[in-house]
């Protein structure tokens, strides 16, 4: 039997303690969530820029919107209330009341590297809801360290199965309102998207995102079902979720994710495929 001195035992225990401490320190705390005055703020010491603001929600929208007046036709009035907020800042519950009677409840939860959205839309009225899609407007100025004129080259969608930085090829410039860029999936009528320049390119998936200033991190977001991907006019990116109009008494569920992850595109795509199998091409 080997002789073990008290000094060796103490050294071993110290190494175990150091390893455990290091392992614990390597896991950052969950991202913090706060909602007030229609803005969702996501914050954390490990989040590039310290915080990210989301206009939540910017708008509920009618169909027939691609070439329509935003104020007179497309945008519907709505009111959002905060129902619950956890003490640890990792859970929020909101409820939207849309002008035509549609009620939409939002459960939002955070982990160290993502924010998850579970949305339930219900039409309690005796008429079909006109709400066809909705816009979470995600501001990425602090994350990218860029302004409206310079953040485009940090931003991306996926085309032909590959990450494509903006401006993508065939960049559209004509629309009722400019600038900006919209990508419409095959499943959505091209008459029913944002009245900004509409790309003739169809996105390969529902992810849209950007890199931070030193490109060590990626922000990306996706919703299911989604109406469009949109690069906006106030340093923002959108994966706007689809409602499709609800019949009287109908309920629909929508889910979404924001990812804040290291710059490893294959790892992001693997995670996204597991979270959103509906967005993957058939084999």
pLDDT digits (tens, 9 = 90+) for 115-126: 999 999 999 999
Average pLDDT over residues 234-245: 97
How many CB atoms are located within 10 Å of the residue 128 CB? 13
Asked whether the beta carbons of 229 and 203 are under 8 A apart, the reply is yes
User: Which residue has 């160290």 as its token pair?
Assistant: 112
Average pLDDT over residues 216-225: 98
- pLDDT score for 283: 64
Whether the link from the prior residue into 57 is cis, omega within 30° of 0, is yes
Asked whether the beta carbons of 139 and 150 are under 8 A apart, the reply is no
Average pLDDT, the chain: 92
Q: Which two tokens stand for residue 102?
A: 């549609």
Q: How far apart are the first and last CA of the chain?
A: 60
Average pLDDT over residues 165-188: 97
Task: For domain 29-277, say whether CATH 1.10.15 is its number.
Answer: no
pLDDT digits (tens, 9 = 90+) for 180-198: 999 999 999 999 999 999 9
Write down the domain spans for the chain. Answer: 29-277
User: Which residue has 């073990």 as its token pair?
Assistant: 4
pLDDT digits (tens, 9 = 90+) for 9-25: 444 444 444 444 444 45
- Measured CA distances, 212 to 137, 139, 159, 224, 280 (Å): 18, 13, 21, 25, 26
- pLDDT score for 282: 67
Flag whether pLDDT at 144 surpasses 60: yes
Listed in sequence order, the residues at least 6 apart from 241 whose beta carbon sits closer than 8 Å to its beta carbon are 119, 133, 134, 136, 223, 224, 225, 226, 227, 254, 256
- pLDDT score for 13: 44
- pLDDT score for 251: 98
């Amino acid at each position: 039997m080997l002789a073990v001195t008290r000094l060796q035992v103490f050294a071993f225990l110290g190494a175990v303690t150091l390893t455990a401490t290091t392992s614990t320190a390597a896991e950052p705390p969950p991202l913090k969530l706060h909602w007030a005055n229609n803005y969702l703020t996501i914050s954390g010491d490990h989040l590039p820029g310290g915080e990210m603001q989301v206009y939540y929600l910017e708008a509920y929208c009618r169909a027939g919107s691609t070439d329509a007046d935003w104020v007179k036709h497309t945008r519907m009035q709505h009111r959002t209330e905060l129902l619950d907020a956890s003490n640890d800042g990792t859970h929020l519950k909101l409820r939207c009341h849309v002008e035509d009677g549609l009620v939409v409840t939002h459960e939002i939860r955070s982990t160290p590297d993502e924010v998850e959205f579970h949305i339930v839309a219900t039409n309690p009225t005796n008429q079909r809801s006109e709400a066809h899609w909705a816009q979470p407007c995600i501001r990425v100025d602090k994350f990218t360290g860029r302004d409206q004129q310079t953040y485009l080259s940090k931003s991306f969608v996926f085309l032909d199965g590959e990450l494509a930085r903006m401006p993508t090829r065939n960049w559209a410039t004509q629309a009722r309102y400019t600038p900006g860029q919209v990508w419409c999936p095959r499943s959505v009528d091209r008459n029913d998207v944002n009245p900004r320049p509409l790309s003739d390119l169809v996105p390969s998936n529902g992810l849209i995102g950007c890199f931070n200033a030193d490109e060590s991190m990626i922000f990306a977001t996706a919703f299911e079902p989604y109406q469009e991907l949109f690069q906006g006019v106030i340093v923002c990116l959108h994966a706007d979720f689809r409602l499709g109009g609800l019949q009287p008494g109908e309920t629909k569920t929508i889910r979404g994710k924001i990812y804040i992850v290291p710059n490893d595109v294959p790892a992001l795509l693997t995670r996204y495929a597991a979270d959103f199998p509906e967005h993957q091409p058939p084999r």
